[in-house]
Amino acid sequence: PRNLVVGAAQLGPIARAEPREAVVVRMIALLDKAAARGCGLVVFPELALTTFFPRWYMPDQAEVDTFFETEMPNAATLPLFERARALGIGFSFGFAEKLEIGGRIRRFNTAILVDGEGQIVHRYRKIHLPGHTENEPWRAFQHLEKRYFEPGEEVFSPVTALGGEIGLAICNDRRWPETYREHALRGTEMVLIGYNTPVHYPLAPEHDHLQCFHNHLSLQAGAYQNGLWVVGVAKAGKEENCDLIGQSCIVAPTGEIVAQASTLHDELVIHDCDFDRCTEIRANIFDFAKHRRPEMYPLLSAP
């Protein structure tokens, strides 16, 4: 068995005015708790350092940019990197990334994986950006990820770290079966997925009561149909008057939820994950080499 004790570190709401330094203090408290319980990896949510700012239309790009990080680690997050390295714990978290590539400013919804020595060993930029690009005043709140971020240009893929093949995805990605299949076909054994998911979905309010169901349905189906460990971690609670779902969880390759948060605050749930358990599924029911018929699904890889 290749075991890794994983901590899903759910964060409660982050106020707009809450400084990154204060959020990092909350993250370190969860890290310490995880270390005390033998965790080797701690997973934090999407956009873990700030409030979920795409809920607001901000015409002034300078104001939008106050929510972005221009280097990582940076002054606000260095204490987190240093604490984790001292504890020998890997961790993952999401943040708004602003950088210059070839003379052009780029902005992504990004997540990173840091190993037990405090080194960033993997970076992923969100591929499936939900929401819209222009202000839509009819909405109780906006969802302007398509305005504030560019879609990621690197495909889903794992990195060998902490004893397994670990991959990243972010929030809306978890709703798309392609996310898990691409990961699994590339050998990923565990996918880490932070999310900020409002209860209210303005385009279909009749589905509001289904948000937690759809969250677990997506994570469990992705895990089972691809023989993956899936770690889903929420930024939860009433954040700037917008209710976000919680129910962070760790899902085994069988699709079973083996750990689940039960509050909407900062909460750590833990499970001792055996990467080898992926073969229970990958070497049987979903042995891709033996049973999968890609020639019969030509449209699945068509753009």
Options 39, 126, 165, 239, the catalytic residue: 126
Q: Could you tell me the two tokens for 182?
A: 């691409």
Determine the residue type at 108.
F
Q: How far is Cα 286 from Cα 279, in angstroms, rounded to an integer?
A: 9
Q: Is 242 a residue that touches ligand ING (CB under 6 A)?
A: no
Cβ neighbours of 160 (radius 10 Å):
12
Q: Write down the least CB distance from residue 296 to ligand ING, Å.
A: 30
Shortest distance, CB of residue 79 to ligand ING, whole angstroms? 26
Catalytic residue among 39, 145, 171, 242: 171
Contact region with ligand ING (CB under 6 A), list: 62-70, 75-83, 195-203, 234-242? 195-203
Nearer to ligand ING, 198 or 227 (CB): 198
Amino acid symbol at 128: H
What DSSP string describes 119-181?
Answer: -EEEEEE-S---S-SS--TTSSS--THHHH-PPP-S----EEETTEEEEEEEGGGGG-HHHHH
- Closest by CA to 27, choosing from 292, 35, 220, 126, is 35
Tell me if 95 contacts ligand ING by CB under 6 A: no
Interaction between residue 220 and ligand ING (CB under 6 A):
no
Examine residue 202 and tell whether it contacts ligand ING (CB under 6 A): no
Residue 116, interface with ligand ING (CB under 6 A)?
no
**56 is a site residue for ligand ING (CB under 6 A):** no
Whether 154 sits among the annotated catalytic residues: the reply is: no
- Taking CB under 6 A as the rule, does residue 218 contact ligand ING? no
Q: Hey, which residues does 125 pair with through a beta bridge?
A: 110
CA 197 to chain centre: 11
In the complex, what is the shortest distance from the CB of residue 134 to ligand ING, in angstroms, rounded to a whole number? Answer: 17
Please tell me whether residue 141 binds ligand ING under the rule CB under 6 A: no
Using the contact rule CB under 6 A, the part of the chain among 37-45, 72-80, 82-90, 169-177 near ligand ING is 169-177
- To the query of whether residue 171 is one of the catalytic residues in this protein, the response is yes
Q: Are strands 164-170 and 229-234 parallel, antiparallel or unpaired?
A: unpaired
Q: Residue 83 is which amino acid?
A: R
Is position 171 an interface residue for ligand ING (rule: CB under 6 A)? yes
AA identity, residue 280:
E
Rounded Cα distance, 229 and 106, in Å: 31
- Is the CB of residue 134 less than 8 Å from the CB of residue 192? no
DSSP, collapsed to helix, strand or coil, labels residue 11 as: strand
14 interacts with ligand ING by CB under 6 A: no
Question: Interacting stretch for ligand ING, rule CB under 6 A, among 22-30, 86-94, 168-176, 270-278?
Answer: 168-176
Please tell me the distance from the alpha carbon of residue 92 to that of residue 85, in angstroms, as a whole number. 13
Say whether 33 is catalytic. no
Interface with ligand ING, residue 176, by CB under 6 A = no
- Out of 172, 188, 247, 260, point to the residue binding ligand ING (CB under 6 A): 172
Least Cβ distance, residue 294 to ligand ING (angstroms): 27
Positions touching ligand ING (CB under 6 A) are: 130, 171-172, 175, 195-198, 201, 211
Residues carrying an active site annotation? 46, 126, 171
